[in-house]
Amino acid sequence: MSIASNMSTFKENFSINLDFLKSKSPPLIGIDISSSSVKMVELSHVGKGNQLYRMERYVIESIPAEAVTEGNIVNMEVVSECLQRGWRRMGTRLKNVSLALPITDVITKRINVPAGQREDDLVFQVENEASQYIPFSLDEVDLDFQVVGPTAENSDEVEVLIAASRKEKVEDRVAVALSAGLKTLVMDIETYAAQSAFELALSQLPDGGKNQIIALVDIGSTTIKMNVFYNSESVYTRDQPFGGNQLTQEISNQFNLPLEEAELAKRNGNLPENYKTDVLQPFCETLAIEIMRAIQFFYTSTQYTEINYIFIAGGCAGIAELNEIIASRTQISTFTVNPFANMELSNRIIPRQLNQDAPALLIACGLALRSFDPS
């Protein structure tokens, strides 16, 4: 999601130093900090035909276990060192970065207000509204808002999106980047960043997926995050506790390996011949069943009765034949997300490797897009 922001007065009132909703920034690196790795992406704008962007460089740097848990940075020093290593491996000169918070660390609220208000009046109204929905003192939060546009019901009103997070959540990420020699210019929300990159991948669907119900399923280390869209609007979200760590645990159990060695073997493919049949295939089948469960919750919780397409993202999305297994179980056409499919690639990029890594780079790509005006 990309919406512009003009927040000077509001920032002065609330000591905000980051923009949750700002859409345009100087060139920067998009950095996704997850529980298993740091993903860093740098894009440039080329604007040639359908190829608006070029993938300049990227890196995936593993994070030791338990340095980041449930979106919280537990070991600041370790994560900072990972950022430093990743930045050096990228070989970039850029030091400005865009980071993101998990949606669980951010309170968002959409409100309708009278159109045509002066900025001071709008700020005052947002302050009053925010105090009703945020269970903390406003001195304890970083807060941003943006006028989204006229409401569908009343042309005399506009919709305003409010986003807020505890200062400590923001400051942890900013401090980790700063310790690595990087300067945070934008703090986004992971869900919004993922959606921005996801929209680039919709070009592979007929008519860009217009009027279709599309599920984006991000399979992380510990959680399956499903976000269902209709015409670029999120209509349903659900998190399901299952992910790539289960596969690592099975590898560890089956082949008597410490967890760190099992994770490394999983990434490098250095496993015995029976790995695919005894471990990987059962994991994929269980994963497909978990996705089916999430879809059933969607059907029972909303007025929708079908999903037209599934896109899978995250580290596990690179598993060969996972698309086919999910499609077979769900009877829904399933694709692997690749937001870079229509981009130019610099000569630093190995296309085959990027195709493998692309599903895990969705959030980092969306964060890198914050350098540009998507309109």
In a domain, 276, yes or no: yes
- In a domain, residue 259? The reply is yes
CB atoms within 10 A of CB 38: 25
Q: Counting beta carbons within 10 angstroms of the beta carbon of residue 351, is it exposed (0 to 12), middle (13 to 18) or buried (19 or more)?
A: exposed
For residue 277, give the DSSP letter: I
Distance, CA of 323 to CA of 326 (rounded, Å): 5
* Tens digit of each residue's pLDDT, the chain (375 residues): 333 333 333 333 333 344 555 555 578 999 999 988 999 999 998 877 666 899 999 999 999 888 998 889 999 999 999 999 999 999 999 999 999 999 889 888 888 888 888 888 888 888 787 888 788 887 888 888 888 888 878 878 888 888 888 899 999 999 999 999 999 999 999 998 999 999 999 988 999 999 999 999 999 988 999 999 999 889 999 999 999 999 999 999 999 999 888 888 888 888 898 999 999 999 999 999 999 999 999 999 999 999 999 999 998 998 988 999 999 999 999 999 999 999 999 999 999 999 999 999 999 999 999 988 543
211 found inside a domain:
yes
Q: Write down the pLDDT at residue 126.
A: 81
Position 247 in a domain = yes
Considering the domain boundaries, does residue 73 fall inside one? no
Q: Flag whether 171 is in a domain.
A: no
Residue 100: the pLDDT is 95
The CATH number assigned to the domain holding 233 equals 3.30.420.40
Number of other residues whose CB lies within 10 A of the CB of residue 343: 22
294, 224 contact by CB (below 8 A): yes
Q: How confident is the model at residue 19, as a pLDDT?
A: 54
Cα dist from 372 to 212, 248, 287, whole Å: 27, 37, 36
- Look at residue 150 in the predicted model and tell me its pLDDT: 86
**Mode of pairing for the β-strands spanning 309-313 and 213-219:** parallel
C-alpha torsion angle, residues 246, 248, 252, 254 (rounded to 10) = 70
Within 10 angstroms of residue 329's Cβ, the number of other Cβ atoms is: 17
Residues 191 and 366 sit within 8 Å (Cβ to Cβ):
no
Give me the domain span that covers residue 250.
Answer: 205-337
For 334, phi then psi, to 5°, come to: -125, 135
Residue 254: CB atoms within 10 A of its CB come to: 15
Q: How many domains does the chain have?
A: 1
What is the rounded CA–CA span in Å between residue 256 and residue 186?
Answer: 43
Sheet holding 141-150, edge to edge: 107-114, 157-166, 141-150
In a domain, 56, yes or no: no
| Nearest CA among 314, 247, 313 for reference residue 278 | 247
Residue 331 placed within a domain: yes
Strand partners, 55: 43, 345
